Amino acid sequence: MSYPAELKYTKEHEWIRDNGDGTATIGITEFAQSELGDIVYVELNDVGESYGKDDVFGTVEAVKTVSELFMPVAGEVVEINEALGDEPELVNDDPYGKGWMIKIKPDNMDDLNDLLSASEYEEIVA
């Protein structure tokens, strides 16, 4: 499995990417999507909503289970991946690309530094 080095990770299997413009993109890891199996529905909360670290920002429904999505850092949702409404399988096919979930404006970009590196995350899921 791949865990891109430029991303930060959580123990709950979310990843976050600093977009370099004061925003960050969030999704679930390749490990998470493989554990869930075929994803059939993604429910994401609305743009403009603000969340604290570890708050639930949506759910992913697979054939046999539903899993909550947790915020890696506090921030405001500025965009949701509308494509997932019609194509939830994008999360399975491309979890770090077209399968992203939300974009946020973090309250503090430095909070990303407190998350796991790719190698630290890989140790957890090994």
pLDDT of res. 2? 80
pLDDT of res. 64? 86
pLDDT of res. 88? 97
pLDDT of res. 44? 96
Query: CATH number of the domain at 8-113, out of 2.40.50.100, 3.40.630.10, 3.40.640.10, 2.40.50.180?
Result: 2.40.50.100
The pTM score is 0.96
pLDDT of res. 62? 95
Distance of CA 80 to the CA centre of its chain: 11
Q: pLDDT by residue for the chain (126 residues), tens digit each?
A: 789 999 999 999 999 999 999 999 999 999 999 999 999 999 999 999 999 999 999 999 999 899 999 999 999 999 999 999 999 999 999 999 999 999 999 999 999 999 999 999 999 998
3-state helix/strand/coil string of the chain = CCCCCCCEECCCCEEEEECCCCCEEEEECHHHHHHHCCEEEEEECCCCCEECCCCEEEEEEECCCEEEEECCCCEEEEEECHHHHCCCCHHHHCCCCCCCCEEEEECCHHHHHHCECHHHHHHHHC
Residue 41 CB coordination number (10 Å): 12
Tokens 């949702």 correspond to 77
Closest CA to 101 of 22, 10, 15: 15
Where exactly are the structural domains of the chain?
A: 8-113
Q: pLDDT tens digits, residue range 61-87?
A: 999 899 999 999 999 999 999 999 999
